[in-house]
Structure 1
């Protein structure tokens, strides 16, 4: 009885604390606003986040409240041009589940009071100027699923406590200043779907069994670091991988055959390493591969023909290796998806397939600095190829169209269109900006372009033997120029 009387007569500690309701959230948000030192051109928070308006906190820009308890559960202010620091008051948003201030100019360290945000599921601080080490309390958020700390100035090592985030799906900490090795415990987070640590100074080897506990991993990007050792042979255990990038590191040894079992893989980047051997034959199983980049990877061996038979492949870059052998003779039928072929600076020999010109989807092709001495398989010098390319380029300039334009299909090509137009109505194949009526001399201009088209068709004749010599091309171009100038002056 005496205890109860004393308790009733003494104000409780709970009565002295501010009530934990929406007013607590409002105070925290207004404090956050005062820590913003510059709103740049976006001043919507100045007028919107205020107690003078009749609207509720839940109606403020970037704020989301829960339907039941009406507390702030989301603070989303990406791309707002805000400059400032994070106040400790933000830790009072005890119901906060999403914190997204991506792509602003916040700076400084993360206050320790944010450790109170135990309901966080998403934290996105990317593209800001935060610095200092990653606070260890971040590993205590058991509900955390998405962590984006990319493009900041965080330093130190990656905390071991990240291994405690057993609900984590995405971890993106690219382009910071992290050092040391990748904690082994991260590879034990079985819920992980994306791990992106590009552009740091991470070192050490990857665990051979790193994929034993990552059944859901779809994106693994560890490029532009200082990682070494051999590429883990157990990578095939990450059976859901769609993107694998280990480029710009110090990996050695062969490409694991098991990568060929990653049948969902779309993008593979292994360039700029110190690898050995060639491309595994198992790569033929990569039926969904879109991009294969092995530039300056240190590889040797024969260039496998199957690369040009992969119907999904859009880009091949194996520049600056030591591949030998020749290009497959019939490349045309299999190249429907290819947009980029870069095989420069290798040891290839033989001929350039004549039907490579039928690969209408190709926009970039670089076969330079090899030992390819033929165009087609007729045994003629590569200068014939240069003349052919020059002729196509002339047509592109004066038609203002590319061989890949949509109009060229079902047997109609840029060259055949120019040829038919030259015989029937050449003006339809001339860029309209070159023959404006108001500028005059239309007939003279049409005659000049017609001469250039005739030259271009002679350059790009189907048979290399029928193509004009490049010296004669120069003579004819000079002659066409003089005739044009003479007619214009008349």
Structure 2
């Protein structure tokens, strides 16, 4: 073997080779890849391997070597990219010299008997993407030096004897996708900075001594798929913001000291497959909102202080008594080994109540009549007063009253310097309220036909809907000659600005996130509201971005509410040319599928930076047909050139991702309404595309 001087790659894995690894293999001086895993080699790793100056991959995994890591391994520093020495019974310390492997991308020393501290010199491995030290006997704290590994996507330090707090600087690892620190002796609170890792996919901090509470900031981890914080000392309530982790599939908070109710917002985790809240001090009822979790196949709330009726719909049809045992006072089906729920009023109580009502009701009715007379009188006295104050449709407890003079002062007299933009029904100004809150004020031009109706529609629709991806209405301000909406201010402007302005740019992931936000808003309007709402005018200028680049759909000036039992509606109001569905533009028929069509066109526009009214689209060539033709030929020629170039490092991954999105866009913009997807499926498919894209980027 040692005379094969030109040999570059040697694969001997999965045999029954035994004995020592021969030191003479170092004579094969051009060797780049040496894979010896899954054999029966034993003894020391030869020092002479350090002489293989071109070696990029060294894989010795699953051999009973029972030795130590030689210091000479640092001689491979100029070449070695992957070092696999897992499951090899390696003992002793990790040598400080390991920090010399400056080109290392992957380092796996897991499931050995390594002891001592994690060398701080690992922080020098600036190219490292995967570090796996699971299943050893490492001691000391998690070194802050690891926070310098900016390219790290997986950090695995589980099943060791590490102690101390989690480093606050873990938030610097913005490329991190998987973090495994389970089964150690870590203590203190989870740093608040940790919850800023917004692109992380899996977190396992189970079986430690972590204390404190779960903060509201947990809701920042928007793409999190798995979260395991079980077997710690966490206390206080579960924050309701956990319901915004819409990608979450596994949530395990068992064996802590959590208290308070189970948040109803957990019902928003529609991707959830496993939920374990057992062995805590949770109280109250099991929310019926959890019946919406149709993918949930494991559920455990045993050993808590829960009471009330166990939900019976959705996934609860499949759970057994084991999921609910040892609680305070749960009731429900006999198969769950709990008491039956007592829904009927006891006859004796019923008789007493009727006897009391015989005397109470007349008195109560008299009081109501007197109050009604007083209210009518006072209304009559105020009938002729014309106060320029807000008369919003938001429920009373949330209502904020803002006068016309406050709006006038907050916008500098509706100065042109504060003008954000103009539309078909009026202008939008930036304003500052007396408490310093920045707002957007949409002032309706009452000289334009339909302005009054548009104002009424927006007040009716937007004041009664609430979703993180819809522009929030603070109040509606109305007098005889002034109509305005006071809206949440979006500091990053519209999607149109980011697509077409010279000094703005969006990468692939930002565009995907924005379009998921828009799709989520439409899903809520179509399916999450008691009365389905059709937006009717979806386009880039009506998609606004907040300071975190989260998208919010706005401008409901021509929105329509479907009547009870209706699936379509006819209207004379036309929307923006290019985005209207065929049946809308030709005969005025609208439905939720009309919005789906507009969304498909918007999706194409977002990734091509071509408006549907661009001059290249004339005659039979629409933006939809243009994209359909390009998908079957060469899609790269039509995609926004700032997103992908043939020389890009991840060219194939990016091209495949955008192709999948464009196929989805064409399914949304099908000619016939019945052939289009619904927004629930669109949201799910787009999230799957994002997840696959992130996984491919990190694994490539």
TM-score (norm 1): 0.63
The CA distance in 2 between the partners of 1:385 and 1:256, in whole Å, is 43
CA contact 1:194–1:220 (8 Å) conserved in 2? yes
Query: Match of 1:295, SS?
Result: coil
1:150 matched to 2:49: no
Which of 195, 205, 219 is the aligned partner of 1:284? 219
Which of 320, 330, 335 is the aligned partner of 1:387? 335
1:135 matched to 2:70: yes
Number of residue equivalences: 323
The CA distance in 2 between the partners of 1:271 and 1:331, in whole Å, is 20
CA contact 1:255–1:280 (8 Å) conserved in 2? no
Name 1:174's counterpart in structure 2.
Answer: 110
Q: After the TM superposition, which residues 36-55 of structure 1 pair with which residues of structure 2 at under 5 Å, given as runs?
A: none
The CA distance in 2 between the partners of 1:136 and 1:313, in whole Å, is 43
Deviation of 1:79 after TM superposition, in Å, equals 2.3
Name 1:261's counterpart in structure 2.
Answer: 196
Relative to 1, partners in 2 of residues 1:85 and 1:388: Cα closer, same or farther, differing over 3 Å?
A: same
Name 1:296's counterpart in structure 2.
Answer: 231
Q: After the TM superposition, which residues 317-328 of structure 1 pair with which residues of structure 2 at under 5 Å, given as runs?
A: 317-328=252-263
The CA distance in 1 between the partners of 2:14 and 2:334, in whole Å, is 48
Deviation of 1:207 after TM superposition, in Å, equals 2.8
CA contact 1:225–1:248 (8 Å) conserved in 2? yes
Q: After the TM superposition, which residues 300-315 of structure 1 pair with which residues of structure 2 at under 5 Å, given as runs?
A: 300-315=235-250
Query: Match of 1:133, SS?
Result: coil
Which of 13, 19, 25 is the aligned partner of 1:84? 19
1:240 matched to 2:175: yes
Name 1:363's counterpart in structure 2.
Answer: 297
Deviation of 1:187 after TM superposition, in Å, equals 1.3
Query: Match of 2:65, SS?
Result: strand
Name 1:401's counterpart in structure 2.
Answer: none
CA contact 1:210–1:232 (8 Å) conserved in 2? no
Query: Match of 1:129, SS?
Result: coil
Deviation of 1:307 after TM superposition, in Å, equals 2.0
Structure 1, 108-117 or 282-291: larger mean CA deviation: 108-117
Which of 125, 132, 136 is the aligned partner of 1:200? 136
Q: After the TM superposition, which residues 451-462 of structure 1 pair with which residues of structure 2 at under 5 Å, given as runs?
A: none
1:72 matched to 2:14: no
What is the root-mean-square deviation in Å for CA atoms of aligned residues?
A: 2.2
Deviation of 1:388 after TM superposition, in Å, equals 6.2
The CA distance in 1 between the partners of 2:191 and 2:2, in whole Å, is 58
CA contact 1:311–1:336 (8 Å) conserved in 2? yes
Deviation of 1:208 after TM superposition, in Å, equals 3.4
The CA distance in 2 between the partners of 1:359 and 1:377, in whole Å, is 12
Q: After the TM superposition, which residues 328-407 of structure 1 pair with which residues of structure 2 at under 5 Å, given as runs?
A: 328-329=263-264, 331-332=266-267, 334-376=268-310, 381-385=329-333, 387=335
The CA distance in 2 between the partners of 1:260 and 1:355, in whole Å, is 26
Task: Provide structure 1 residue ranges, at least 5 long, that are not aligned to the other structure.
Answer: 1-21, 27-70, 391-409, 411-490
The CA distance in 1 between the partners of 2:334 and 2:73, in whole Å, is 60
Deviation of 1:129 after TM superposition, in Å, equals 0.8
CA contact 2:128–2:152 (8 Å) conserved in 1? yes
Deviation of 1:385 after TM superposition, in Å, equals 4.8
Deviation of 1:125 after TM superposition, in Å, equals 0.7
Name 2:450's counterpart in structure 1.
Answer: none
Deviation of 1:130 after TM superposition, in Å, equals 1.1
Query: Match of 1:225, SS?
Result: coil
The CA distance in 2 between the partners of 1:272 and 1:23, in whole Å, is 49
Name 1:24's counterpart in structure 2.
Answer: 3
TM-score (norm 2): 0.44
Query: Match of 2:146, SS?
Result: coil
Query: Deviations along 1:421-477, whole A, 9 cap, x unmatched?
Result: xxxxxxxxxxxxxxxxxxxxxxxxxxxxxxxxxxxxxxxxxxxxxxxxxxxxxxxxx
